[in-house]
Amino acid sequence: MSLDHNLPLGKIGYCQVCGGKNLESIIDLGHQPPCDSLLWPEQLDQSETSYPLRFKVCMDCSLGQIDYVVAPEELFFPDYPYRSGITSSLVEKLSKTASSTLSRFSVPENSLVLDIGSNDGTVLRAFQNSGMRVLGIEATNIAEIANRNGIETLQKFFSEDLAHHIRKNYGAASVIAATNVFAHVASLGDILRGVSLLLDEGGVFVTESHYLLDLLDTVQYDSIYHEHLRYYSVKSLIKLFEQYGFTVTDAERIDNYGGSIRVYAVKGRRHIVSNSVKELLTKEEKFGLGEINIYREFAKRVLKSRQDLLKLVVSARQMGQTVVGVGCPGRASTLLNYVGLSPGLLPYIAEQSTSLKLGLFLPGLHVPIVDEERMLSEQPDYAIMLSWHYADPIISKLRDKGLRSRIVIPLPEVIVQDP
Ligand SMILES: [Zn+2]
């Protein structure tokens, strides 16, 4: 591979971290449209582009990855509909990035903290409340929301060039965060050189990414989509950071997005490494991340859940019953497109009334996204939890609002809950 870790667009035939060729194909989810390219009604008559979506693993560094890079401009367009501040449970989780980091590292007050892919500024607000100077980097129009809310945010993609600009105008940073974005970037080398340039010696780069071990363990194939180029293990992150002169000093599992890892990489070599890193490496080895069996088992479980879900929906429809979806995170697109639940089977997806996605349509299948009020008044026979990784709080809220439908949890295996 190119040693600079900047991926070309299109098909890639080597490991994104180590450059090796020891890649195994695990599952092919078919050609799929970018999952967040929700459509406006007038777009339904136009053509759509789909791209290969195949999950592979590097047997040398235990990095899960897809083998096709879609242009970032097509994935993270200005109207990208995801806003982190919207779920209160997520706000609470994202705030922990600040408290966990500041409890591990002594960061002087008024130090500069950056967040790459800062979204609406939720992560930075917590740092700001702890007395830090903050600066967000967010490429989409959500940057405007952050700026309006008092979190200074540059509406740009982070790059080495931008790092030069920031260093000159804002000074060096003590902490740089990249939560739920570090697995997304194709220009990984550019990011890492930029982070290294901006951080003080001994400064910390804290990343949060979906964890490969959790993905396999709880069959989260629906979190595989074009935005997510990589599915990290701790082993693969150590290998990556080594190449840029960082030491992974600490790591912890967190429950964000159905299972993530928060990894602290300190600028400079030979920093003290905490036991947590060794423990996670041992856990990964015991789990079998270095062997093919665990991945084959995962693929089998994916196929089974697809068949079970399709069977449930088809037989419900044959009996004249109704089935709808609840919640439309990015992963809903992978799941529904892979299982093939088009509007004939699944007439709509219900979202909360504050959602920016109301009135739009799921790419590929064109399932409409509607206000949950409709579901509450129609009381369908089944409601499939598409945000199943947050199912419990969502279900109890919907029950409080009077939903009497049977609830379907699609993964890790299909489960039906009676009201
Ligand atoms: Zn590799």
Q: What is the CATH number of the domain that holds 180?
A: 3.40.50.150
Domain C-terminal end among 260, 291, 322: 291
The rounded Å distance from CA 137 to ligand 1 centre is 29
- Domain of 407, CATH number, reads 3.40.50.720
Task: Please give the distance, rounded to the nearest whole angstrom, from the Cα atom of residue 367 to the centre of ligand 1.
Answer: 37
Distance 240 CA to ligand 1 centre (A): 9
With 70 as the cut, is the pLDDT of residue 3 above it? no
How far apart are the CA of 232 and the centre of ligand 1, in A?
10
pLDDT at 275 over 70: yes
Residues 327 and 287 in one domain: no
Residues 6+ apart with CB under 8 A from 139: 76, 78, 117, 155, 156, 157
The answer to whether residues 384 and 235 belong to one domain is: no
CA of 277 to the centre of ligand 1 (A): 19
Strand 133-137 with 153-154, pairing: parallel
- What is the count of structural domains for the chain? 2
Is 286 a residue whose pLDDT tops 60? Answer: yes
For residue 57, how far is its CA from the centre of ligand 1 (angstroms)?
Answer: 8
Per-residue pLDDT reduced to its tens digit, 331-365: 999 999 999 999 999 999 999 998 889 999 999 99
For the entire predicted model, the pTM comes to 0.92
CA of 8 to the centre of ligand 1 (A): 17
Residues of the chain with pLDDT > 90, as a percent, come to 87
Instruction: Examine the pLDDT at 281 and tell me if it is beyond 90.
Output: yes
Distance 246 CA to ligand 1 centre (A): 18
Task: State which H helix or E strand residue 147 sits in.
Answer: helix 142-148
Q: What distance in angstroms lies between residue 17's CA and the mean position of ligand 1's atoms?
A: 5
State the chain's mean pLDDT as an integer: 94
Cα–Cα distance for residue pair 177/97, rounded to 1 Å = 8
Residues 97 and 123: beta-carbon distance below 8 Å: yes
Q: Is residue 65 part of a domain?
A: no
| Residue 149 lies in domain | 84-291
Residue 77: pLDDT band (50, 70, 90) is low
Q: How far, in Å, is the centroid of ligand 1 from the Cα of 55?
A: 14
State the pLDDT at residue 325.
98
275 inside domain: yes
Distance 128 CA to ligand 1 centre (A): 37
- pLDDT tens for 159-189 read 999 999 999 999 999 999 999 889 998 999 9
DSSP symbols for 400-419:
HTT--SEEEE-SSS-EEE--
Asked if 266 and 322 sit in the same domain, the reply is no
- Residue 243 shares a structural domain with residue 343: no
Cα–Cα distance, 365 to 131 (Å, whole number):
47
27 CA distance to ligand 1 middle (Å): 18
Under the banding of pLDDT at 50, 70 and 90, the label for residue 133 is very high
Ligand 1 centre from 254 Cα, in Å? 24
Share of the chain above pLDDT 70, in %: 96
Asked whether residue 52 is assigned to any structural domain, the reply reads: no
Predicted confidence at residue 93, as pLDDT, reads 77
Per-residue pLDDT tens over the stretch 52-65: 999 999 999 999 99
- In a domain, residue 66? The reply is no
